Amino acid sequence: MSDGVNAAKQAAGIASCDFVTSGMRVGLGTGSTVRYTVLELGRRMAEEGLEIEGVPTSEATAALARELGIPLLEWHQVSELHVTIDGADEFDPGFNLIKGGGGALTREKIVAQASAAMVVVTDPSKQVTKLGSFPLPVEVLQFGWEVTARHLGLLCPGEVSRRGGDEPYLTDNGGYILDCHFGATIVDPAGLETDVRGIAGVVEAGLFTGMADAIVIGSSAGVELLLKPGGRLGR
């Protein structure tokens, strides 16, 4: 990854921390861009006295947060998070997302649904007019995954493949990821999300609809903030 791309990711990750203030319970996302968010939150706690508590979306994020001294909450300790900051593999003009390239989509959605707002950190390459060029990740049970894949194939015009092939990738939940190659054909993300989740064996779909309130885009030109009209973070 080039220094320019890393710098853009870092700028977006740091800028997203502007949505966090002391006393907040924060969902901590997974991925290369939001990693910079977690690092910045740790720095602000150590150097500026920021006081927050976090809920991680993956074991990798949990390990990083502990290393930085960010207190982590168990679910029995919290009913709602103030904000979740996470990445995305694609986003469209309606603030719909495809997530799950890092394999943490189920935990990411649980955390996002428990949050009063969601901030997405990303870069210009993830902005699309129509979702689907990035293969849609779907977490499924190991049991009968072949049958689940066949049912997904009835919805998906392209290949449905198990991530990792003969040495399958395992999520933190012990599930498989099926990558569904729709191409840029997803005109009704919410409808497709419902259809995919209705298939027996599907744990969660990597479509996040109606969740994102702000998108922070880092690029060589600087940082751009998009706020969803009528969203929960409207200013």
pLDDT level of residue 1 (50, 70, 90 thresholds)? low
Q: Considering the entire predicted model, what is its pTM?
A: 0.95
d(CA 177, CA 103): 7
Asked if the model's pLDDT at residue 164 lies above 90, the reply is: yes
What letter would DSSP give residue 180? E
Which tokens go with 98? Answer: 């495809």
Distance of CA 44 to the CA centre of its chain: 23
Asked if the model's pLDDT at residue 234 lies above 90, the reply is: no
Q: At the fourth CATH level, which superfamily is domain 136-201?
A: ACT domain (3.30.70.260)
Q: Where are the domains of the chain?
A: 3-124+210-220, 136-201
Q: Is 108 a catalytic residue?
A: yes
d(CA 73, CA 76): 8
According to CATH, what is the number of the domain 3-124+210-220? 3.40.50.1360
Asked whether this chain's domains 3-124+210-220 and 136-201 adopt the same fold, the reply is no
pLDDT digits (tens, 9 = 90+) for 49-98: 999 999 999 999 999 999 999 999 999 999 999 999 999 999 999 999 99
pLDDT digits (tens, 9 = 90+) for 98-131: 999 999 999 999 999 999 999 999 999 999 999 9
Asked if the model's pLDDT at residue 148 lies above 90, the reply is: yes
Taking a C-beta distance cutoff of 8 angstroms, is the pair 160, 137 a contact? no
What per-residue confidence (pLDDT) applies to 3? 75
| Catalytic residue from among 67, 74, 90, 108 | 108
Taking a C-beta distance cutoff of 8 angstroms, is the pair 69, 45 a contact? yes
d(CA 172, CA 183): 27
d(CA 30, CA 32): 7
